Amino acid sequence: MLPQRDASTDTGFTLIELLVYSALLVVVGSVVVGLFLSGQTTVARVRDVTLAANSAQVVADSVATNIRNSTDFSLSMPSGTDQFLVARTAQRDDPLTWGCVAWYYSSVGSGSIYFRQSSTAILSPTTAELATWLLVDGGVTPVSGTRIFTASGQQLSMGFVSRAGTHPPVVISSAATSRAGASGNLTCF
C-alpha cells in the first residue's frame, strides 16, 4: 500500500505565484533593457558631439596659431562661396624658418575645411588636388552669410558651425592678428 501524502508538507509554487513572479521578471527586464538602450544612445550622442567639437577646435587653433605667427596672409574666394586662406608663418624650428600653410573651405555638400603645409608657395587647389589635402573638419557652415573667414587688415576673424549629425551644432568664433614686419624671402602666395 502507498503511503498517504500530507498536503501541509507539500512545497512549491502555485500557478498564481508563478504568473506573478513571471510578470515581475518581465517588468524588471524591460526596465533594465530600456536603461541599457538609453545609455547606448547617450554614449553615441556624446561621441558625435565630442568629435564635432574636437574637429572644430583643431581648425580654430590651427588657424589662430598660424595667423598669429605669420608675417602676412591672403584670403580669396576661388570658386563660388569656397574660401582659400594661405599664410607665411614661422615654423617651430631652431633656428627660425618660414613655411607656408593653407586652409581651404569647400561649401560643396555639407561643407568641409582642408589643410596643407609646404615649404613652397601654395596655390588654390583644383578639385583633384584638394582630395590630397588633409580633411580637418566636415559638416561645416558659416555662422552667418557665406564666409567662414573674414579679413580686415592684418586681422583674420573666423566664425563657423560644425555639425554633429542631428545633435546640437558646435559654434566657433575667433580672431587672430598677423605679426607683420618679419624678414625673410619665402613667398607663399
pTM: 0.77
Mean pLDDT (the chain) is 87
Q: Which of 134, 139, 133, 167 is nearest to 56 (CA)?
A: 139
What is the torsion angle, in degrees rounded to the nearest 10, for the CA atoms of residue 137, residue 101, residue 75 and residue 177?
100
pLDDT, tens only, 4-23: 666 666 678 888 989 999 99
Q: How does strand 149-152 pair with strand 83-90?
A: unpaired
